[in-house]
Structure 1
C-alpha cells in the first residue's frame, strides 16, 4: 500500500518522490483507500503558504500565492480534466461524440470558460478563507472524487488508468477516505463549520456525478478532474457562507 500511495502522489501531483517508483496495479488499487491522504499532503503545503501569505497586508496576495501554489503542486492536472469535461458535456452532442470532444487535445469555448471560472474562483475564495480551510480544501476535493466514483462504472469503451481507479472504488475505500476527512476536520479549530461544509460538498459531488452518469453512462478520468475542482470551489464557498450565517 505504501508503494501504491507513492504511485498516487507521482501520478496526481508534481511532488518529487524519486525516479524508482514503478506502477503496480494491485498496489495502486489498495492505495486508493489513502487517496484523501494525498490531499492532506497538499493541504499541509497550502497551510504553510497561507501562513506566509497572511503576513502580507493585502488578502489578495495570499489568494494569488495559494492559487499559484495549488497549480504548481498538482501540475494543473485536474484543470485539464475539468476543461475537457465541460467541452464534452456542454457541447450539445450525444453518445461517442461527447468522448471524442473530451479526448480532443484542443480546448473549446466551454473549456476556456471553465478554466477562467475555476482559476478566478480559487483566487477570490483563497483570498477570503482561513488557513485551516486551505488545509481541508484539497482533502475534501479528493474525497469528493471517491464519493462521485463510488458505485459507478467507467464510461468509455476503451480501458485505461481511469478504469482501474473508478471501478476499484468500493464501500470500504469510500468509508476509509471519508474517515480520513472527518479526522482532519475534527483536529482543527472550527470543526463544526468544516464538517458541515464538507458534508455539503460531498452531497454535491454525489449529485453532480449522478448527472454526469445520466449524460455519458458513468465516470471518466476527465470527469474526476472536473469533480475535484468544482467541489473544492463548493467547499470554500460553503465555508465563507457558513461563516456569515453562524
Structure 2
C-alpha cells in the first residue's frame, strides 16, 4: 500500500514537472485520477527547490539576483509547463472572438502578444514581490505559493467540466472525494505556514485574493469555452500563486 502511494505521488511528479522519476511507474486512468491529491505537495516540492536556490544564492549575490535564479530553478523543474498554459489561455481568451476560435488559438504552440504580455507581467510581479522580502521569508512564500497554486488546479478539476469532448493529453477527468480531502489538508498546512510566518492578516488576504482570482478566471473560461482545458489549469496555477504572493506581501 505504501509503495503504491509512493508510486502515485511520483506519477503526480511526472505529470506536473520535468523532475526525473523511475521509468517503470505503473500507469492507468485510475492512478492518474488518484494522483491529483498530491498536486499541492508536488507544488510545494517545486517551491522548495526554488526556495533552497533563493536562500543559498542570497548568501552570495544581491536579493534580485537570488530571486531570478530561484524562479529559473522552478521553471527548469516544471519545464515552464504552467506558464505555457497561461500564455496559451491569454492568447486564446484575449484574441479569440468565439469559443471555437479561442480553442484553435490555444492549440497553437506559438506565443502571441497576449501570451507574452501575461508572462512578462506575472514573472515581473513575482520577481518584485519575492525581492521585497528577506531571503528566508521569500523562500517560504515561494514554497507555499507554488503548492497553493496547484491547489487551484485541483479546485478547477473538482468543480468544472472539461471543455474538449474527446479529452486531451493533460486532461484529468475528476478528483475523488478522498483525494480532494488529502489535497485540501495539504493546502491547509501551507496556509498555516503563511500564518505563522507572516501573520493572520497576511494569510487571510492571500486566501481571499487567490479565491477571487480563481473565481474570476474560472468564470472567464467557462463563459468563453464552456469548461476547462489543460491550459486553463496552468493559467489557474500561475495566477493563483501570484495572487497568494500579492495578498501576503500586502501585509508582510
Identify the residue that residue 161 of structure 2 maps to in structure 1. Answer: 153
Query: How much has 1:172 moved relative to structure 2?
Result: 4.2
- Bigger drift between 55-64 and 82-91 goes to 55-64
Q: Secondary structure of 1:178's match?
A: helix
Query: How much has 1:112 moved relative to structure 2?
Result: 1.6
Q: CA RMSD in A?
A: 2.0
Query: How much has 1:26 moved relative to structure 2?
Result: 0.9
**What whole-Å deviation, never above 9, does each CA across 1:63-100 have from its counterpart, x for those lacking one?**
11111111111110111111111111011410311111
Q: Secondary structure of 2:53's match?
A: helix
Identify the residue that residue 218 of structure 1 maps to in structure 2. Answer: 227
- Bigger drift between 112-121 and 170-179 goes to 170-179
Aligned counterparts of 1:209 and 1:174: Cα–Cα separation in 2: 18
**What whole-Å deviation, never above 9, does each CA across 1:193-213 have from its counterpart, x for those lacking one?**
335413431342133212211
Query: How much has 1:228 moved relative to structure 2?
Result: 0.9
Aligned counterparts of 2:83 and 2:95: Cα–Cα separation in 1: 18
* Aligned equivalent of 1:141, options 146, 149, 166: 149
Q: Structure 2: give runs of 5+ residues left out of the alignment.
A: none
Q: Secondary structure of 1:90's match?
A: helix
Identify the residue that residue 190 of structure 1 maps to in structure 2. Answer: 198
Aligned counterparts of 1:128 and 1:149: Cα–Cα separation in 2: 33
Identify the residue that residue 9 of structure 1 maps to in structure 2. Answer: 13
Identify the residue that residue 83 of structure 1 maps to in structure 2. Answer: 87
How do residues 32-111 of structure 1 correspond to structure 2 at under 5 angstroms?
32-56=36-60, 58-111=62-115
Identify the residue that residue 242 of structure 2 maps to in structure 1. Answer: 233
Query: How much has 1:7 moved relative to structure 2?
Result: 1.4
How many residues align? The count is: 241
Query: TM-score normalized by structure 2?
Result: 0.87
Q: Structure 1: give runs of 5+ residues left out of the alignment.
A: none
